[in-house]
Amino acid sequence: MKAVQSCNGDFIAKYKTFHRYVAAFARDNRDLSLAFNTLMSEIVGTNTEGERVTKEIWKRYRLFLEGMLEDGKREGTVPAEVDSQVCAHVIMATQAGMLVEWFVNGESFDVPAL
Average pLDDT, the chain: 86
Task: Flag whether pLDDT at 111 surpasses 60.
Answer: no
Q: How confident is the model at residue 21 (pLDDT cuts 50, 70, 90)?
A: confident
What φ, ψ does residue 93 adopt, rounded to 5°? -65, -40
pLDDT in tens, 39-71: 888 888 899 998 898 889 889 989 999 999 999
Q: Give the separation between CA 61 and CA 46, rounded to whole angstroms.
A: 22
Q: Give the separation between CA 75 and CA 108, rounded to whole angstroms.
A: 37
Task: Flag whether pLDDT at 109 surpasses 70.
Answer: no
Check residues 111 and 13 and name the one with the higher pLDDT. Answer: 13
pTM: 0.80
Task: Flag whether pLDDT at 114 surpasses 70.
Answer: no
**What pLDDT is recorded for position 42?**
86
2-113: CATH superfamily? Tetracycline Repressor, domain 2 (1.10.357.10)
